[in-house]
Every structure is written in structure tokens, then in C-alpha cells.
Structure 1
Amino acid sequence: MTEQVLITGGAGFIGSHLARRFARDGHRVTVLDTLAPQVHGDDPATTSPLLRDVSEVATVIEGSVTSTDDLRGALKDATIVIHLAAETGTGQSMYEIDRYTTTNVGGTSKLLDLLANEEHSVRRIVIASSRSIYGEGAYRTEDGKVVYPGHRADADMASGDFDVHEPGEGTLTLIPTDESALLHPSSVYGITKQMQESLIMTVAPTIGIESTSVRYQNVYGPGQSLKNPYTGILSIFSTLIRQGKEINIFEDGEESRDFVYIDDVVEATYLAATHPDAVGEVFNVGSGVGTTVNEVVDALFAGLGREVPTRISGNYRLGDIRHNIADTTRMTRLLGFTPAVSFRDGVAAFAQWVLTEPVEQDSYQRSLDEMAKRNLLK
């Protein structure tokens, strides 16, 4: 069956790859995207490889999910909606609160309001959620209990204690976080992603639309923005390495993330949109493996064939988590999907792609200065 697929935010990193996946199977794809300068540059037609790429396989509509008229036009004949559109960036969300809330929560509300009150052909919505809704995620205590610790205290981190603690408990052991875990985000971004997911998963079934949520871990790979300072440490660090600049490693460098390669994310999202057993489900999309920041730096040095000075500074950002590793067994059990690309292989492919790209102007320090000015970076 040929679907008419609408991907909101579809000219971004994940959306452009996903559009190709749907087009490859013969589906028709429409993309709605604001083409924001932070991602696409000041003149997207000439400065955005992502836009050029997605334009080959999809109809691109420049517009916003915060506009009812833009949404109405993009939804015409759509049978599947992949809702990727969102402002992203944990740190930036802590001081651009209205923009994040307006786009992420307001845009999702407008989408559902249209579907609830006007005629349409949509039968399934997939919402792109985030590991950020878990906050610190799951840990096991010394006596075997599973706990979900609260946010780390500023005073602890200021003294160099970056570990996660639970009152009344001793040493905690990190364990993979499954989809039944407590949701307690530690940033405005995480709060808005939780609200997006809750809106879709609550409202869509009541208006006769199937719904599925995919909670992405740290997505990376060829094609991600190298100019957006909020896109992730792989892009940030690779740019610094190519510029020969020092890398400031926050905390002690032992904070870890679950990095998941773009091809795995695309396949997982495709299944969430098309598989009958995905209806009504929430899925973690990750590798299930934690990688520390120190390990990321070493992998990029190897992949790019160059090293620069590093400094473990003890700096930290309020709202950051220490660790989070996804339990991916639900997607394997219900959809038969297991991530295929290891971090070693994925970062090697990412690094080889980076070497073919122009060296971008460094805007990372400006983003740090913005946080420091607001006392969010210590």
C-alpha cells in the first residue's frame, strides 16, 4: 500500500534520511520545515545540504507547525504523520523557554486540534520523543531495588561530585532504562518532549488515529549539522579537532550517553510508522550501550587522524544528566528490530564523512557564553 507521508521538521538530519527511506519503498513524501538558520544557514537553497538532499525525494513546504494554515496545507491527503518538528538543545531550552514551549507543545497542540476538528486522511501518527524525558534514568541500589534518582545538586557538582545519588542509599549501579521508567525530565527541552508525547498518545486514539512514540537516544551520523552548536558533541568536537582547538571536557569526562547511528534510527522509525504491532506502543530507540565523553574524544581522534589538546575542566551545565542507557528489548520483541551499527563502526563512518565537509565556523563557544551569562554553565 502506497502511503502519503508527512514529516514535520523533515528537512532536518533525521527527517531527510527518513524521507529517503519512505521514498525508496515507493511512498509519497511531503516535508514541512521552517528551514531555521541555526540548522540550514541564512540561505537554505545554497547553504543547506540537508535541504538539497530531501528535495530530491520529497515535496518541501517551508512553513511552521505553529501556523494552522501551514499545517492544514501540509496535511492534505496525508495518511501517516511523522512528527519530528521541535526546537532541540537541552542547554538552550533553559533560557529560550517560550520558543521551545511554543514550538514543541504549541505546534503539537495545533496539529492535534486540526485533526480533531477538520476532515483528513491520517490514520497513524508517530511522535519523535526523547531520552531526555527520563531525567537520570534507572539505577539499582546495593540491595537490588530499582530507583530513579532526582536531578544532581549544584552544590555537589561544584565540589567535583558528579555522581548520581539517592537519599538513604549507598552506591548506585547504572542499569538500562526501559519504557516503564519514571518520567522526570531535568530540562525545559525534556519537559516539552514529555508533553508532546503525552498529547499525541492521549489525544490521537480518541479521534480514531493510531499513535506510536519513539524515544530517541543520542542520534549521530553522516549528514548531521556541523554548524549547529546544539546538535551534539560528535559534531562539536569534530569541528574543534579540525580547527586545531582545545577540547574542554565537562565534568570528569566519564559522563556517558547511548549513541545510536542514523541508519538504525531511520529503520526503527519506519517500523514504528508501518508495523501493525507498533500501534499504541512507546519504544526506546538506542544502541543499548553507554559511551563516555572521554571515549568519544578518543574515537574521533582515531577517525579523523588528528589529535588536539584536551582539558578535563570540571565545568558542568545545569540540566545535564550523568548517564542514560536505553533498554531496547521492547522494540526487538514487538517489531523484530535490533540496532545493527556499533559505535566503533558508526563513528568511523561519521568521521570519514566529516573529512569531506568544509570546516564550519565555530559557534560552540558563543552557545557556552550564553549559558554562562545566565549562570547555567558553571
Structure 2
Amino acid sequence: MQGNVLITGGAGFIGSRLARRFVDEGYRVTVLDSLIPQVHGDDPDTTSPLLASIRDIATVIRGTVTNADDVARAIADQDIIVHLAAETGTGQSMYEIDRYVEANVGGTAKILDALANGPHHVRRIVIASSRSIYGEGAYRTPAGELVYPSHRDDAAMAAGDFDVHQPGVDGPLELVATTEAATIHPSSVYGITKHVQESLIMTVAPTIDIEPVALRYQNVYGPGQSLKNPYTGILSIFSTLIRQGKSINIFEDGEESRDFVFIDDIVNATYLASTVPDAAARVINVGSGVATTVSEVVAALFDAFGTEVPTTISGNYRLGDIRHNYADTTLLAEVLGIESTVDFRDGVRQFVEWVLTEPVEGDNYQRSLDEMAARNLLK
């Protein structure tokens, strides 16, 4: 055997695939996962295909990173830890603040506390960080200055101005790729917790002889992504609406963009970050390096499904959302040797092929929007 690997959140979308990759490479895998209903259904043993996919290849501990006993049991005899366990969803994080902080920050602290105060064999820990820690991405002014604008103004967006502005700068800002050296200024509770997670790992691990690696994931998508969790991403949300024949409400003006990265690329990067010597102590963006607008996402889905539903560009917006962000992937290539990623259109085609094999899920998306509207976070 190559060694022992613990994947927290290892029964999830990313973790279950990563577990299979480690097993294929000759590692013994342990998974610690709370198997929450929002992801795995009310009876995970019968309702979670993700859990079923790893049950026979990994040791699965049903527990939580917020419980010290569960953590102690899981980390015993591990050589590598990949810390994926986290509450996700920028919108939901703005009103379920305590739950997000407890799981994301508290859970990370529990892992490090156990490692710092007891014997261990861990030589490397990889933290799944997020592009959300950047807030808005990087921009260049007409004068050529690199800037990192702060949160957009509510009043301006209410008036239909969704662009990003920099005080004291005349003229439009040019979007550029965001490097790992960018200013950190998250615009959501989720982003704050991911920043703290990353900071804890990168600060504490070296003091207890563990090599830390932080991977700042962009927007992950692909086969196996939850179709019933309304906080999982717009490809899943829009796919469900298309299959139900319901209309799609495109927020803002449809020109907001993200860097969409296919699940296989995420798994490959995470495996390499866990095993490549040069990755030690590095912080690395994991993305495609391409900005794709929401309108382009809808067009790609319509093409892959071979059908369309009515769309409305409504001008609605969510407080805490950013306008643009896409990754500079220079370090991804230099450190991990990953120089190309799955093309977005091809990735969407693979995703849709899988979606069409799945049952049509109920529409939980509207409920999530209603929750945000009730708290004045959706305008």
C-alpha cells in the first residue's frame, strides 16, 4: 500500500471521486462524513449513490469534524489528510452563520487541535479552499493599475448598474485573471470561513511537522453533483428547471461570470497536491482559467439537452454575490503539471448525459430563493 489517506467529507461530490482515485493509486482510504440530508437524503444507506460508490472501497465513519471523538478516531494512523468537509453555499451562509462557522472554522480547528496535542503520522494535509475568499476578482484600470474592487453597492445594483467600479478611477475596469497573490476580501460568510480554514491549516500545520497545501477551487461541476441541493451550483439548478419545463430566471444582466472547472480536473489536482513533493506549503488556484457568463452557461445547457425553456433576464440580484472572478492557473501548471482542463462545452455535455440518467428532482431552488428574499438578501 502507498499509505493511509483520510478524506473528510469524503462521501460528497468531490470526495467520493477522490476516494476512488486514491484507491486506484494503491492507497487505503478512510472517509469521515456526516452524511447530511441536504446532500445524501434522509436515509443515506438507500438514498445516497455517492455513499454507495465508496462503501466497498473505503472505511466510512459516519461522524462530523465538529466532534472531537469522531476526529480522533478518523485521524488515527493516517499519512495524508484531505480536508473537504464544509458547509457550502454563499447565499445560505449569510443567514445560517453559526452553522457555517461551527462546521468550517470549528471543524478545522478540531482537526488541528487533535494533531497538535496527540501523536500522529500525518505528513501532509490538503485544505479545499475556495475562490470565494477573493471576493471580486482582479481588474486593471485604464491607467494599467491592478486593483481589487470591494463589494458592489446595493443602490447601484437596484438601479441596474451591475458593473464593478473603483473609487477615484474614471472609465471601465478590465477583468483579468486572479492570481494567488490577490487581495483577500471575501463578500460572504462562506468566503470568510474558507479564508479562516486556509489560514489555520497553512499556519498551524508546519509547526507540527505537517506539510500544508491549500487549493482554491473555482466553481466545480460535473456528473455526480447533487441535483436536489439548491446551494450546489447553477448547472444543477438550471438542469432541473429544464427537465421540469420551467422557466429560468437569469439574475442581473446575465453577463456575470465565473470560472467553471470540471470534477475530473478537481480530483486530479487534489490527488497531485496530496502526493507531489513540490506542492508542499503552496497555495494554488484550481480552475480552467476561463471566465464564462451565466448566459453562456444557459446556452451550453440548451445545446446539450437539445431543448430550451423560456428565460428571463430579470435584474434580480443577491447581496454578497460577486460580478466576476476567474483563476490565473500558472501555478497549477508549474507545480502540479496540469496545463489543460476539460473544455466547458464538453464538460457540460458529459454532465447532461449523466443528468438524463437520473430521476427528475423536486424543485428546492425556489424555497432557497424565498429564504433569501425573506431576509432581504435577494432583490
For the aligned pair, the TM-score class normalised by the smaller chain equals: over 0.9
**Aligned mates of 2:216, 2:326 — CA distance in 1:** 12
Which residue pairs with 1:217 in the alignment?
218
Equivalent residues in 2 for 1:221-300, closer than 5 Å:
221-300=222-301
User: Residue 6 of structure 2 contacts residue 82 of structure 2 at CA under 8 Å; is this kept in 1?
Assistant: yes
Contact 2:129-2:214 within 8 A present in 1 as well: yes
Q: CA deviation at 1:276?
A: 0.3
Q: Secondary structure in 2 aligned to 1:185?
A: coil
Cα separation, 1, equivalents of 2:173 and 2:280: 35
CA contact (8 A) 1:226 1:236 kept: yes
TM-fit CA distance, 1:328: 0.4
TM superposition shift of 1:180: 0.3
Per the TM alignment, residue 208 of structure 1 is displaced from its structure 2 partner at its CA by: 0.7
Alignment match, 1:100: 100
- Amino acid paired to 1:21: R
Aligned to 2:176: 175
Q: What is the deviation of 1:340?
A: 2.6
* Alpha-carbon contact 2:21-2:271 (below 8 Å) kept: yes
Would you say the 8 A contact 1:255–1:323 is kept in 2?
yes
Aligned counterpart, 2:119: 119
Q: How does 1:42-61 map to 2 (within 5 A)?
A: 42-61=42-61
**Corresponding residue for 1:26?**
26
Matched, 1:200 2:184: no
1:331 to partner: Cα distance: 1.6
Alignment partners' CA distance in 2, 1:322 and 1:47 = 36
TM-score by length of 2: 0.99
Code of the aligned partner of 1:42:
D
Partner-residue secondary structure (3-state), 1:272: helix
Gaps in structure 2 of 5+ consecutive residues: none
Equivalent position SS for 2:325: coil
CA contact (8 A) 2:127 2:201 kept: yes
Q: Deviations over 1:226-281 (max 9, x none)?
A: 00000000000000000000101000000000000000000001111000000000
- Per the alignment, residue 157 of structure 1 pairs with 157
TM-superposed deviation, 1:338: 2.0
Equivalent position amino acid for 1:298 in 2? A
2:135 maps to which residue? Answer: 135
Letter in 2 for 1:5: V
Query: Are residue 146 (structure 1) and residue 115 (structure 2) matched?
Result: no
Partner of 1:309: 310
Deviations 1:95-136 (A, max 9, x none): 000000000000000100000001111110000000000000
In the alignment of these two chains, the number of paired residues is: 378
1:334 positional shift? 1.9
1:180-222 deviation digits (Å, cap 9, x = unpaired): 0000000000000000000000000011100000000000000
Deviations 1:121-170 (A, max 9, x none): 11100000000000001000001000000000100100000000000112
Which TM-score applies when normalising by structure 1? 0.99
- Contact 1:286 1:339 (8 Å CA) reproduced: no
Task: Kindly state the Cα deviation for residue 333 of structure 1 after the two structures are TM-superposed.
Answer: 1.1
Letter in 2 for 1:228: N
